[in-house]
């Protein structure tokens, strides 16, 4: 079974459901610290859990 990436899950929803995803036809841009999804009128950013010394996203901010 192939593992799906975050970009796959966000842009290609489960087609068994009747609902239409807000992420259909979203453009995806991946950087070293995150993934950005661009829709018609919004952008959604997911941060990757990384620690590069000068920034630390490895744990949730409380």
Tokens coding 40: 């018609």
Question: Nearest 5°: phi and psi at 9?
Answer: -65, -40
Counting the structural domains of the chain, the total is: 1
Beta strands in 1-62 (DSSP E): 27-30, 34-38, 43-47
Given a cut of 80, whether residue 22 has pLDDT beyond it is no
Mean pLDDT of all residues in 20-45: 81
The CA distances from residue 58 to 25, 38, 48, 52, in Å, are: 30, 24, 8, 9
Given a cut of 70, whether residue 44 has pLDDT beyond it is yes
Residue 30 belongs to what domain range? 1-62
Q: What is the pLDDT of residue 18?
A: 46
Mean confidence (pLDDT) of the chain: 75
Q: What is the pLDDT of residue 13?
A: 60
Q: What is the pLDDT of residue 11?
A: 63
């Amino acid at each position: 079974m192939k593992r799906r990436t975050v970009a796959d899950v966000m842009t290609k929803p489960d087609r068994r459901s009747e609902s239409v995803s807000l992420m259909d036809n979203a453009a995806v841009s991946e950087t070293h610290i995150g993934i950005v999804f661009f829709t018609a009128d919004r952008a959604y950013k997911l941060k990757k859990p990384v620690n590069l010394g000068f920034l630390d996203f490895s744990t949730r901010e409380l």
